[in-house]
Structure 1
Amino acid sequence: MKKIIWIFVTLLIVSCNNEVKDYVTLKGTLKNNGVEKITIQGRNGFSKEITVDSNGKFSDTLKVTNGIHVIDSGSDKITVYLKNGYDLNLEFKGEKFVEGISYTGNGAETNNFMEDKRSFYMSDLANPKTYFKLDKDAYEAKVAEAKSILKGYKDKAKNLDSIIDRMDVKNEKMFFDYIDNNYEKMHANMVRFAKGKVSPVFVNYENSNGGTTSLVDLKGKYVYIDVWATWCAPCKREIPFLKELEKEYHGKNIEFVSISVDKPEAHETWVQMVKEKELGGIQLFADNNFESEFITEYGINAIPRFILLDPEGNIVDSDAARPSNPKLKELFTELGI
């Protein structure tokens, strides 16, 4: 009889130990010791603050709606997949969240997969220009290389959460469909507007400071062109970075030119925004919005778009890095600007 009771007790203990928790356990150590708290944000308005001690350690439990959440330190953010029952330990690779996280514990496999994918989409392999600039054989080889890398990530994640798996399949298909559907046209454009080719020109665009400006007026200096519009949110997000660049390179051998492709009825909005936001550089209004010859010559149908020209009016990069991208200043340094 005692033996039967002990068997029952043992089974009960095992059953309790195997019971799935209805909450997430999250712990880790930040490498940035200046952070006093982090916030976990998720769907349906979910938000919870977690205290970080003087050694950068944190630990807490959260009852979540399963899905992608954001870890926010106030100046730094990164995504994590949380599901009730997960018991995750986060090892931050550097002081900045963008440097990545290694995960251990229940739920680590899915989150390490997401980290692998994030590193891919931050690399040149996620930049369509990497593929579009190649001839057909090299293009096909590069696509095969990228797909092989992504398959390797998936092969490692044998127990990938089904939600992330479905999202990943959809996103990967969208990415490669875009590359494939646009290769011929974009490759032709990149050949046509390759480095060293003579740039199309704009003539007599209205200048916010009065009069008009043509590209030929700027000969003798590098010209960094920002094609934007007052209604374009991504364009406006670049404005603070562009203003900083203009300030840093003031007096150097480069002109910063912003060309608005707003429609005529938005002209006054453009005038007011230039004034209110104290936009620097050379602020121009295109002569026929997206139908302006300069815009159509470059095949621009999405903004913001940035173009860098050399002092002779030749193309350095027809689809240059944004002001917020550190690679732009690296290019300026290489050019001796």
Structure 2
Amino acid sequence: MKRLLIICIAVTMYTCKEEPKIDYALFSGKVENPADKVITVYDGREKVKEMALRKDGTFADTLTIESGYYRLSHDKESSSIYLSPGDNINVTLNFEEFDESLTYSGNGAGNSNYLARKYLVEEKANFDVAKIFALEENEFISKLDERKASKMKLLKEAKDVTKDFRALEEKNIEYDYLSNLQNYQSYHSYFSKKEDFMPSDNFMNLIETVDYNNEEDYDKLNSYKRLTQSYYSNKISNSDNPSEIFRTLNTKAFPDLKKDLANSLIYNISPNNMYNEAYYNGLMNMSSDEKYKEKLKAKYDKVMKLAKGMLSPKFVKYENHKGGTTSLEDLRGKYVYIDVWATWCGPCIREIPSLKEVEILFHDKNIAFVSTSIDKAEKHKEWVEMVEEKELGGIQLIADKDWNSQFVQDYAIEGIPRFILIDPDGNIVDADAPRPSDPKLIEMFKELKI
């Protein structure tokens, strides 16, 4: 009897042993007409795994993952997918018709098939941002409601999606809706040419009632992450007392939100930001990363040297398209309006017609118009050809070390186009001057009696 009891206990202990936890998914497939030798799965910007394609375009591997949204990428094409531990998914695609050909099969495939179809439907719907955001408030909300209902219908009709995934997608649809509401003020102001536009109080209340402290949704949903970051960024930039908003954030925000906001808001420290000190102190308190703090201090110190009236940083012996070299010192005695651009920069090229008009308007005045390309050395030929093809006027220069040129670094230039105005004595008038297409530039020139 005693021996039988021991055997029973041993059997019970063996049968109750915890099953090993599955933390991976099986992922395989075939790429027709491949453009690369690998296919890659990303989690945000982080590479989960790069899988080699066999000669026949097939691949197979295991992915150690948690349940969530990922990105499947081949060459320059990519698509959203959803993976969970225990999935066994096979994907087929033709690179020449990437989005249209994506098909998933196997355990857990339904979620990704829905995402592939969702993308095609949204692409076909062609949400015209300029047209929609130019609508008046009631019409705008009506259009958004229609779009939201259409998305919910697509989700409801989706087959083989899991319960948890469906709940996440419902949230995604809601957060996308709220993001458009959030953007309405600035977008409508721009597209309808109403600089001082403000939505009604009821409209703004829809945004203010959102819970912006949901750490779980922030971790799982990029739509909520974008919504939350945008909300706090706007709140800080629109405030007359940004220090107060920073204090609230530092007290109440969860760590990942603070980290992401710190990394994005560092770009708001700029020559024309009157609240640079508030940003600097707020971001310093927000981060515990010493390398980030060093970067922040370096940028802040640099921007503080770009205030109006400070001696301008100089460029020395930049190659001139017409031959020889030109330095800033060669232009002393004149105002100097500098356009920092590149041949690959679409917004830069869109400013060219306006810049030509301004140059014509002030061609006999005491001002030099300088366009400084920061194209890389291997793009030198493209720079030469574009200057000739577009018949660019003024003084056409190319920087010595593209983004790493000392002048570019000293002016804290992190995005282009960037425009700079320097006075005849070589002092800064505006380190981030209005663009040629902005009427404020002509007003500034007239105030300075150029």
Deviations 1:267-322 (CA, angstroms, capped at 9, x unpaired): 11001111222222211122332333433443445433322110111121223333
Distance 1:227 1:148 in 2: 36
Aligned amino acid, residue 125 of structure 2: F
Contact 2:266/2:296, CA 8 A, preserved across alignment: no
The residue that corresponds to 2:329 in the other structure is 216
Give how far 1:234 is off: 3.5
Deviation of the 1:245 alpha carbon: 2.5
Q: Which residue of 1 aligns with 2:193?
A: 96
CA distance in 2, matches of 1:204, 1:169: 43
Spell out, residue by residue over 1:17-70, the C-alpha distance to the aligned partner (whole angstroms, 9 max, x if none): xxxxxxxxxxxxxxxxxxxxxxxxx944324899xxxxxx9788834334657x
In structure 1, C-alpha distance between the alignment counterparts of 2:403 and 2:351, rounded to whole Å: 20
1:144 Cα deviation after fit: 1.9
Partners of 1:177 and 1:187 in 2: how far apart?
9
SS state of the match for residue 144, structure 1? helix
* 1:232 lines up with 2:330 in the alignment: no
One-letter identity of the residue aligned with 2:193: K
Pairwise CA distance, 1:189: 1.2
Cα separation, 1, equivalents of 2:332 and 2:418: 21
1:177-216 alignment runs, 5 A limit: 179=279, 180=283, 183-216=296-329
Cα shift at 1:108: 7.0
**1:259–1:110 distance in 2 versus 1, CA, 3 Å:** same
Partner of 1:10: none
Partner of 2:370: helix, strand, or coil? strand
Deviation of the 1:177 alpha carbon: 6.1
Q: Percent identity?
A: 45
Counterpart of 2:63? Answer: none
- Post-superposition Cα deviations, 1:123-150, rounded to whole Å, max 9, x if no partner, equal 9x639xx9xxxxxxxxxx9432455899
Kindly indicate whether the alpha-carbon contact (under 8 Å) linking 1:103 and 1:111 is maintained by their aligned counterparts in 2.
Answer: no
Aligned CA distance change for structure 1 residues 271 and 44 (closer, same or farther; 3 Å)? same
Q: Distance in 2 between matches of 1:195 and 1:184?
A: 20
- Match for 1:188: what amino acid? D
Structure 2: stretches of 5+ with no match in the other structure: 1-120, 132-137, 152-172, 211-226, 250-256, 268-278, 284-292
Task: Give the counterpart letter for 1:197 in structure 2.
Answer: M
Structure 1 regions of 5+ residues with no counterpart? 1-41, 51-56, 70-77, 83-91, 131-140, 151-167
Compared CA separation, residues 170 and 46, structure 1 to 2 (3 A) = farther
Are 1:278 and 2:391 matched, yes or no?
yes
Residue 112 of structure 1: how far off its partner (Å): 10
**Aligned: 1:312 with 2:409:** no
* Conserved 8 A contact 1:261-1:285: yes
SS in 1 for 2:435: coil
Tell me the residue number matched to 1:45.
124
Q: Measure the CA separation in 1 of the matches of 2:394 and 2:150.
A: 48
Structure 1 counterpart of 2:434: 321
Bigger helix fraction:
2
1:199-243 per-position Cα deviation (integer Å, ceiling 9, x unaligned): 232233222233332222222211011122212333333333323
Letter in 2 for 1:64: S
Matched residues in 2 for 1:93 and 1:318: separation? 25
Higher Rg? 2
Matched, 1:64 2:150: yes
The separation in 1 between residues aligned to 2:299 and 2:376, in whole angstroms, is 26
Give the equivalent residue in structure 1 for 2:369: 256
What amino acid is the match of 2:428?
I
1:148/1:43 CA distance change after superposition, 3 Å? farther
Q: CA RMSD in A?
A: 4.7
Cα distance in 1 for partners of 2:266, 2:333 equals 42
TM-score w.r.t. length of structure 2: 0.43
Q: Does 1:144 align with 2:239?
A: no
Q: Which residue of 1 aligns with 2:416?
A: 303
Counterparts of 1:246 and 1:149, CA distance in 2: 47
Deviation per CA, 1:144-191: give whole Å up to 9, x if none.
2455899xxxxxxxxxxxxxxxxx999866554655256522331133
Residues 1:109 and 2:206 aligned together? yes
- Between the aligned partners of 1:45 and 1:81, the Cα distance in structure 2 is 24
